[in-house]
């Protein structure tokens, strides 16, 4: 049996935006459910495919009870730094990015967030980014070197 990190009644914070995976009634798959940073309360703990703990979390402000995986949650009192970008979000480089003096990613290049990396101190954010101009390569980029994909050049 897997050990659940949180128990009934404990407050947790969502660290990723959650969309409907098709299991939330009344909404289409892919519809937005709860924004990252929201705080909710564990109302049930279960498992999925016998290898993932799933928490039913009541997000009172949103009026929704949503199933969340353990890696999508932190304790409500744990340090939290909101990020500008999210997993799978399209971004552009805000400047040319170089390795060893060679510019590998031109300013304005389109990329996709693969992972959000939160450091130990507030404001310490970076992202694993896959840029279309370099297929198969992943770069760790600080937040201030990125801008929204829909930003005009």
Confidence of residue 29 (pLDDT cuts 50, 70, 90): confident
Into which CATH architecture does domain 90-148 fall? Roll (2.30)
Percent of the chain with pLDDT over 70: 93
Q: What is d(CA 113, CA 71) in angstroms, rounded to the nearest whole number?
A: 17
11-75 and 90-148 agree in CATH topology: yes
Which three-class secondary structure state does DSSP give residue 83? coil
Q: 46-75 pLDDT, tens per residue?
A: 877 777 888 999 999 889 999 998 888 989
d(CA 47, CA 1): 10
Asked if 12 and 75 touch (Cβ cutoff 8 Å), the reply is yes
Do the bridges between strand 90-93 and strand 110-118 make them parallel or antiparallel, or are there none, so unpaired?
antiparallel
pLDDT attached to residue 94:
92
Where do the structural domains in the chain lie, given as residue ranges? 11-75, 90-148
Classified as helix, coil or strand, 142 is strand
pLDDT in tens, 75-105: 998 877 778 887 788 999 999 998 889 999 9
User: pLDDT category, 23, cuts 50, 70, 90?
Assistant: confident
Among positive and negative, which fits the CA dihedral 59, 120, 95, 137? negative
pLDDT-based confidence at 151, cuts 50/70/90? low
Tell me what the mean pLDDT of segment 34-44 comes to. 92
Q: Which of 7, 59, 53, 21 is CA-nearest to residue 37?
A: 59
Instruction: Name which of 64, 87, 61, 72 is nearest 13 in CA terms.
Output: 72
End-to-end CA gap in the chain: 53
User: Which CATH number among 1.25.40, 1.10.1670, 2.30.30, 3.40.50 corresponds to the domain 11-75?
Assistant: 2.30.30
Contact criterion met (CB below 8 Å) for 38 and 59: yes
Distance CA 43, CA 55 (A): 8
């Amino acid at each position: 049996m897997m050990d659940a990190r949180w128990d009934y009644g404990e407050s947790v914070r969502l660290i990723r935006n959650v969309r409907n995976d098709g299991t939330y009634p009344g909404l289409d798959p892919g519809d937005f459910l709860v924004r990252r940073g929201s705080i909710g309360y564990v109302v049930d703990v279960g498992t999925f495919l016998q290898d993932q703990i799933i928490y039913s979390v009541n997000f009172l402000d949103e009026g929704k009870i949503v199933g969340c995986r353990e890696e999508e949650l932190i304790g409500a009192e744990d340090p939290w730094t909101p990020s500008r970008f999210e997993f799978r979000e399209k971004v552009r480089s805000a400047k040319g990015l170089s390795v060893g003096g060679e510019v590998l990613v031109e300013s304005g290049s389109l990329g996709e967030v693969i992972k959000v990396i939160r450091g130990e101190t507030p404001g310490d954010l970076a992202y694993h980014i896959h840029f279309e101009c370099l297929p198969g390569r992943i770069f760790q980029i600080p937040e201030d070197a990125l801008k929204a994909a829909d930003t005009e050049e």
